[in-house]
Amino acid sequence: MKRLIPCLEQDNVEIELILLIKTLLTACKEISFRVSQGALSNVLGSTLDENIQGETQKKLDVISNQLLKDMLLESGKVRTIASEEEDFVVAATENAPYIVAFDPLDGSSNIDINGQIGTIFTIYRAKDDAPANSELQFSQKGTEQVCAGYVLYGPSTMLAMTTGGPTRLYTLDKTQGCYLLTTEQLSIPTETQEFAVNMSNFHQWSAEFAHYINDLILGKAGIRAKKYNMRWNGAMVGDVHRVLSRGGIFCYPNNINQPEQPAKLRLLYEANPLAMLVENAKGKAFTEQTRILEIQPSDIHQRVAVIMGSANEVDKCLSYLR
């Protein structure tokens, strides 16, 4: 099986970027080890703090954020960092070529139940027309990402990543400490009979979105004339991993009862990287109106509605919303 670095070299990824990816994934290897030790490494449970988004931080959110931040700051390759767990951007190395954003631990509520969790990351080129300590570094559309990926800490630790070409899947070989290529090219089937949505939010959805889900639930008797299955992980990284592996549609629509903050998922370090992975695996990724990767960001913690996965199913869903 091919190791990660030779794969990246073969994909003609520039050396500076390879070195940065290597650093990032070394931090994830460390997170993976701590996750697998669970209660033994004293990483479970909550802290007494909240992040800027008002969410209680779990110990593992904080530890993962610190590990990633420390290693990226030392790498010399990163000009600016943004993280779900950092209120503001962090200036790193002046004149370094890249900027990195991450959700250090996605699916926090799964930490204490030994469920799927992961780290989501995205890399862009640094902008020379903005200082290293400025949010403007991240004022770039998702189409500008030079690398996007996640590391999923499940029964095995897996890395899904794209550097602009196909979305590839690697598995962490814990005996050797390296990521090995296990699926050369992920390809999401265009049709599906599986959907992922938090059904308990039914009464917060627009009538149009509720109508779409209702038609799925009607199954063979309804207009869609097939039986749909539902899965909900509570960790976007796990749900989208399933979609990348066998198809499906993942939805986190707007909450119409909360017009001041209708969406839940974050554009920079959740929606954009996963949208790039999905699109490069032949899927589609939209908000309720637009292609996620074409949104001009206004804030590093900005939230967007998300509808992504099997191309024909995403089209179908959007046809209810137009």
Of 275, 292, 202, 201, which Cα lies nearest the Cα of 240? 275
Q: Which is nearer to ligand AHG, 168 or 264 (CB)?
A: 264
Q: Is the dihedral of CA 292, 163, 269, 136 positive or negative?
A: negative
Question: Which region among 99-107, 124-132, 167-175, 290-298 touches ligand AHG (by CB under 6 A)?
Answer: 99-107
Of 61-90, binders to Mn ion (CB under 5 A) are: 84
| H or E, element range at 170 | strand 168-173
Instruction: State yes or no: residue 239 binds Mn ion (CB under 5 A).
Output: no
- The rounded distance, in Å, linking the Cα atoms of 195 and 193 is 7
Of 182-241, binders to ligand AHG (CB under 6 A) are: 198, 234-236
Please report how close the Cβ of residue 235 comes to ligand AHG at its closest, in angstroms.
5
Q: Which is nearer to ligand AHG, 261 or 319 (CB)?
A: 261
Of 124, 84, 122, 86, which Cα lies nearest the Cα of 104? 84
Instruction: State yes or no: residue 103 binds ligand AHG (CB under 6 A).
Output: yes
Instruction: State yes or no: residue 106 binds Mn ion (CB under 5 A).
Output: yes
- The rounded distance, in Å, linking the Cα atoms of 237 and 109 is 13
Residue 17 site contact among ligand AHG, Mn ion, none (CB < 5 to 8 Å, cut-off depends on kind): none
Of 257-296, binders to ligand AHG (CB under 6 A) are: 264
Contact 97, 116 (CB under 8 A): no
Of 302, 304, 307, which Cα lies nearest the Cα of 139? 302
Instruction: State yes or no: residue 154 binds ligand AHG (CB under 6 A).
Output: no
Residue 234 site contact among Mn ion, ligand AHG, none (CB < 5 to 8 Å, cut-off depends on kind): ligand AHG
Contact 187, 244 (CB under 8 A): no
What residues make contact with Mn ion under the rule CB under 5 A?
84, 103, 105-106
What residues make contact with ligand AHG under the rule CB under 6 A?
55, 84, 103, 106-108, 198, 234-236, 264
